[in-house]
Structure 1
Amino acid sequence: MADAEGAFTYNGGRVDPGETQNLRYSISETYLGDPVRVPVTIVNGEEPGPTMFLSAAAHGDELNGIEVVREVAQEWEHRNLHGTLVCLPVLNVLGFLAQQRYLPVYDRDLNRSFPGKPGSTSAKRVAHQLFQNFIEPCDFGLDFHTSTRGRSNMLHVRGDMDDQGTARLARSFGANVILDSQGPTGTLRREASEAGVPTITIEMGEAHRFQRRFIDAALDGVASVMAEYGLHPAEPVNWPGWRTVIEKGEKTWLRADAGGLVETHYEQGDLVEAGEVVCSITNPFKTDSVDVEAPFTGLLVGVLENPVVYPGNPICHLVELGEEIQRAYLRNRTGTMPERPS
């Protein structure tokens, strides 16, 4: 959100219309008293428009989103930008440097610490600085994540579809699957949305790597959002061919009922029929085998990549698809694209 002169301001600086600023914003200190600085790129277009943030690596080992945010900030052409982009490629700098999910300081989760609080824990102090300076001044935002270590997600969106602003944002990204939920307390998307900044989470791929197919698909989603809100008014809004919104009762985690090694029969993004064996768990001698069956027909949004489990460990994230969406999914797979609904 720009001031009366169209400038984006934060504590310690401002970016006027037509300017781009790359900065390293100090949010904390190390044990040696050296500053911990978050990289931020602010692109303020010459033409007025909304302010949008893009953030990644709230969990320090989730790397795909970093490349999405970097490419939008540094490689896209923004001469016709109507509005402002606030690009935060690495929120959790300390976790990123250690290549671990959480803040190394007492192993706290930055993405359970928003909107933060001055004078509180290290995580909440960091969250407060980020939220106050770069999230709350925006009109809406995209927060990029991957699955945790040892699992992988197909690209999908998470957001509160009961909120009109968030629902518009989620649909404009152009993903096939939207998981409808507020998100846990303290997550960036929930706290930003409740503060009047509609925000969605984009989940894609796995931790500790760049995966080009996910990055490219997410970049298409960013372009679609920017077209929807007029930041790049000449670009088209993306229609993914089919879309489903999954509510709470239409998804489940399939969990291991035995310890052992997992042999998966499907990949993330695959459609499985009710009663089909999604994977099998075997002991080291392959003398015992426990099959894991799909309780309903649905899509594998998330799957295990590390093939060893204890009883109770999650193996697959399955979301239910109705018959019409199943047909659209199959048409999409065969190259017969359904038309966009009016």
Structure 2
Amino acid sequence: MGNDRAFTYNGGAVPPGETQNIRYGISETYLGDPVRIPVTIVNGERDGPTCFLTAAAHGDELNGIEVVREVAHEWDLSDLRGTLVCLPVLNVPGFLAQQRYLPVYDRDLNRSFPGKPGSTSSKRMAHRIYANFIEPCDFGIDFHTSTRGRTNMLHARGDMTDEGVYRLAMAFGSSVIIDSDGPSGTLRGEATADGIPTITVEMGEAHRFQRRLIDDALAGVRSAFAEYGMLETESVRWPGWRTIVAGSGEKTWLRADSGGIVDTHYESGSLVQEGERIATITNPFKEDAVGVKAPFTGLLIGVLENPVVYPGNPLCHLVEVDESTERVLESETTVSGTGSR
């Protein structure tokens, strides 16, 4: 069935069968020059859903940028069913400064959606992004990384009580899904509330490209496109094992109770048993060692990369897994030899 719908935004339109690369103005600098975000819109010749892919809402989170760019500019989308809206760098000011938040304004763009005209700088930016490129979509994937000094294993986050989000998260095919509402002002939370099922994909750490994670995320996008019939040659993937960490499930950021230098004994993605020592904190003389133990058996989805802490600093993000997942992970550890370092 042919596509007879142009994708329209304030200032332009993309007819069926065309691709446009645009730089869309969302604000202005002190000098009155435009602040413009890059957008690629691929409108397929055949009918189908409209999907957005977004990255770098936090300007130092780079892995997702490469995922969105490769989908937009390296994939063969000649047989695309529907429309693809790619926004690889939402927070251009933060990206240029290589910092998380909007510089000068010191606001979190990912707490400013859906935005509001006539409001703060961050909400005005968010409004122009949301109204033009998010609201017209049927579903979306928003890519993030951990903040500076930490790293995340690749996992999805979304409100799994929402049928559309459940479908999308399962289709993306990550082994770990955290079932949670997006905080107020987040792109995924606000879009989902508006009837646009959206998941967040967390992957790796800030300030770098991590090829293995990028490739894994690209496989997830292909799987999602297969689920929605956007690319017929693809199939929905099964990750081998999966755990959904429900809101009632146990999960915690373990925090340092003393300052010092940290020796982390496990990598992100490792299974740790209740009572096992995850990390050790010592002073510069390697005295007064303080062990940090797992309060329950679970999966480390995030760990500290910068090995120095003050009391209260996060060390690792531990989530509970069910017994069947635990058995699979123990089997993988035995085969691959991964785990404690």
Secondary structure of the equivalent of 2:68? helix
Contact 1:57 1:89 in 2 (8 A): yes
Secondary structure of the equivalent of 2:23? strand
Number of the residue aligned with 1:303: 303
1:1-342 alignment runs, 5 A limit = 5-248=4-247, 249-333=249-333
Structure 1 residues 44-103: Cα deviation after superposition (integer angstroms, max 9, x where no partner): 111100000000000000000000000000000011100110000000000000000000
In 2, distance between residues paired with 1:106 and 1:79?
Answer: 41
Structure 1 residues 172-230: Cα deviation after superposition (integer angstroms, max 9, x where no partner): 00000000101210000000000111000000000000000010000000000000000
Structure 1 residues 148-185: Cα deviation after superposition (integer angstroms, max 9, x where no partner): 00000000000000111011101100000000101210
In 2, distance between residues paired with 1:121 and 1:33?
Answer: 17
Q: Name stretches of at least 5 consecutive residues in structure 2 with no aligned partner.
A: 337-341
Contact 1:281 1:289 in 2 (8 A): yes
In 2, distance between residues paired with 1:335 and 1:21?
Answer: 47
Task: Tell me which amino acid in the other structure corresponds to 1:31.
Answer: Y
Secondary structure of the equivalent of 1:183? coil
In 1, distance between residues paired with 2:116 and 2:305?
Answer: 36
In 2, distance between residues paired with 1:40 and 1:334?
Answer: 45
Give 1:328 shift: 2.0
Secondary structure of the equivalent of 1:328? helix
In 1, distance between residues paired with 2:134 and 2:276?
Answer: 44
Secondary structure of the equivalent of 2:75? coil
Number of the residue aligned with 1:339: none
In 1, distance between residues paired with 2:332 and 2:13?
Answer: 46
In 1, distance between residues paired with 2:8 and 2:267?
Answer: 45
Task: Tell me which amino acid in the other structure corresponds to 1:103.
Answer: L
Secondary structure of the equivalent of 1:170? helix
Contact 2:50 2:139 in 1 (8 A): yes
In 2, distance between residues paired with 1:163 and 1:329?
Answer: 28
In 1, distance between residues paired with 2:37 and 2:333?
Answer: 41
Q: What is the percent sequence identity of the aligned residues?
A: 73
Deviates more, 1:241-250 or 1:263-272: 241-250
Structure 1 pair 335–222 and aligned structure 2 pair: CA distance change class (3 A) = farther
Structure 1 pair 187–264 and aligned structure 2 pair: CA distance change class (3 A) = same
Task: Tell me which amino acid in the other structure corresponds to 2:53.
Answer: L
- Aligned pair count reads 333
Secondary structure of the equivalent of 1:23? strand
Q: Name stretches of at least 5 consecutive residues in structure 1 with no aligned partner.
A: 337-342
Structure 1 residues 261-299: Cα deviation after superposition (integer angstroms, max 9, x where no partner): 100100000000100000000011111110000011110
In 1, distance between residues paired with 2:225 and 2:104?
Answer: 36
Contact 2:50 2:85 in 1 (8 A): yes
In 2, distance between residues paired with 1:213 and 1:315?
Answer: 23
Contact 2:4 2:47 in 1 (8 A): no
Contact 2:261 2:281 in 1 (8 A): yes
Task: Tell me which amino acid in the other structure corresponds to 1:181.
Answer: S
Contact 1:241 1:332 in 2 (8 A): no
Structure 1 residues 27-55: Cα deviation after superposition (integer angstroms, max 9, x where no partner): 10000000000000000111100000000
Q: TM-score, normalization: structure 2?
A: 0.96
In 2, distance between residues paired with 1:260 and 1:68?
Answer: 36
Task: Tell me which amino acid in the other structure corresponds to 2:240.
Answer: G
Q: TM-score, normalization: structure 1?
A: 0.96
